Chain A
Amino acid sequence: MSGRVEGKVAFVTGAARNQGRSHALRLAQEGADIIAVDLCEPVKSIEMYPPATEEDLAETARLVEELDRRILTTKADVRDADALQAAVDAGVAELGRLDIVCANAGVFEIQPALELTDAAWREMIDINLTGVWNTCRAALPHLVAGGRGGSIVITSSTAGLKGTPNTVHYTAAKHGVVGIMRTIANEFAPHSIRCNTVHPTGVDTIMIQNEKTWGLFDPDNPHPTRESAAPVFESTNALPVPWVEPIDISNAILFLASDEARYVTGVTLPVDAGYTVK
């Protein structure tokens, strides 16, 4: 049986691990070749979980190749527009085309608003908002030139639809990408290029599974754990689950990227166990 994105090429940022790796693998399973980038380095103001590594990115490549799909990986920072452009250009040269973009790279940090430094604010906006724009800008000329349309999926968050305390920089950036999505949907519809956002609730990755995040959810506990935080995470969702898995976001992105969604554009799609409706 032919895959749902057979013969297409997808550009995935933040592809070394977690959601990004999951998206690359899910799309590859359904027949896509992959252009993958990741920073693979620490970000100064992100202290609550360790960064992805070059070994992680190499592992993503190995797993995609195991599925008999091609992948080109580049260590690149979404803040560096030139590096990103070079990575996409090289990927298209090697793999022949571009059809799908997953603007997934992002960071998360918890900080009370008045304790946030200027540098931390700027770093968050640079990565989670400007990085998304850099990703789209590097990819759009290839999508237009291909003349076959395309599908861009930007990873926002429930924090792109709703405010929560202690995340002002993250929430601002995640709301901002909705504006990027809505503009691109309008501006590039004549080229049959679709653009949508996905809005995950907490996803079971190291970005939320760390002591600082557990502490935010379980503030009275001096030694919060995954187990102690889980019921509080669950109380924020409507469905009786504490968090979702990377594959759940990948399945939504696969739907949006495929021809099954050929007339879905300009949409903010929550994959959030009912977080935003609660």
Chain B
Amino acid sequence: MGKLEGKVALVTGAARGQGRSHALRLAEEGADIIAVDICAQVDTVAYPMSSRADLDETVAEVEKLDRRIVAHVADVRDEKALNAAVADGVAALGGVDIVLANAGIASIGVAEDGNEAAVFRTLIDINLTGVWNTVHAAAPTMIEQGRGGAIVLTSSTQGLTGRGGDGSASMDGYCAAKHGVVGLMRTFAHWLAPHDIRVNSVHPTGVNTPMIVNPVVESFLAGSADVGDALANLMDVPVIEARDVSNAIAWLVSDEGRYVTGTTLPVDAGFTVR
């Protein structure tokens, strides 16, 4: 029997990359999934974003594991659309026990000239306010259900350090938003502890997904030896796999982590301790 049998997990950014990996890992442990993704391009993002076909693939793969999944196209910046998607999933699957606020973007490589404010603001809107919207879309139901729960916010090594900062709006916005997520995690941990709902953040180093492994980021890293070195891991791996982050999350949200709350868990090949 899976560690998450009978639970329902909300996953944002579930169409591909880490989000899809999390949905599949939790489904393997028995969870049903409420999946949300924007499935559209954001114009301050230089790499191609997810599509409806990607989200459909996540649905097919979860169903192959004999778990149920309710998927909606929704933007985490759009509170109404997000609330509606979550409400529909809750109605169809009988509640929500786990929330993975995973949706996020990077703006490395985007042309910033004259556009800095929009780049910065969009990073904050999606990577920080989007996390706030996500948790508020699900937490009232979790409290009302009275069966506890677990929330994991996906921050980053950039939520714990500013290493690699270069004054660009893309680095500033990403780092500020990911640090901000830690603040949300800590305040949510207080808010929800009396309801036996745990809240933690995970802090991946670069992960082998389309957000990081693409020609735009590769040319950025190759552009300067300093940046490449600043963003290197302590362990001898250039990037980790989405599955490594999913495994940490699967542990955090299971009963094996029943007394783990308010923690910042790096999955970073030693990036932050370096």
Contact = CB atoms under 8 A, between A and B. Distances in A.
Contact of A265 (B190, B235, B259, B261): B235
Interface residues of A, number: 35
B111 interface: no
A266 to B, nearest CB: 3
A1 to B, nearest CB: 11
Contacts, number: 112
B173 interface: no
Interface in A250-272: 251-252, 254-255, 260-267, 269-272
Contacts of B269: 263, 265
Given A186-B273, A277-B190, A278-B190, A265 B263 contact: no
A271 B257 CA distance: 8
B248 A277 contact: no
Given A263-B267, A276-B262, A238 B244 contact: no
Interface in B240-274: 240, 244, 247-248, 250-251, 256-263, 265-270, 272-274
Given A192-B235, A260-B247, A274 B193 contact: yes
B72 interface: no
A58 interface: no
Given A192-B235, A263-B267, A265-B235, A271 B260 contact: yes
B262 A278 contact: yes
A190 B263 contact: no
A34 to B, nearest CB: 20
Interface in B173-221: 186, 189-190, 193-194, 196, 198, 205
A270 to B, nearest CB: 5
Nearest to B245: A263
Contact of B234 (A255, A261, A265, A272): A265
A254 B257 CA distance: 11
Given A186-B234, A261-B248, A263-B244, A269 B265 contact: yes
Interface in A53-111: none
A126 interface: no
B273 A240 contact: no
A265 B267 CA distance: 8
Contacts of B274: 186, 266
A211 interface: no
Interface in A206-231: none
B236 interface: yes
Contact of A240 (B189, B194, B263): B194
Given A277-B189, A277-B262, A278-B262, A265 B273 contact: yes
Interface of B: 186, 189-190, 193-194, 196, 198, 205, 234-237, 240, 244, 247-248, 250-251, 256-263, 265-270, 272-274
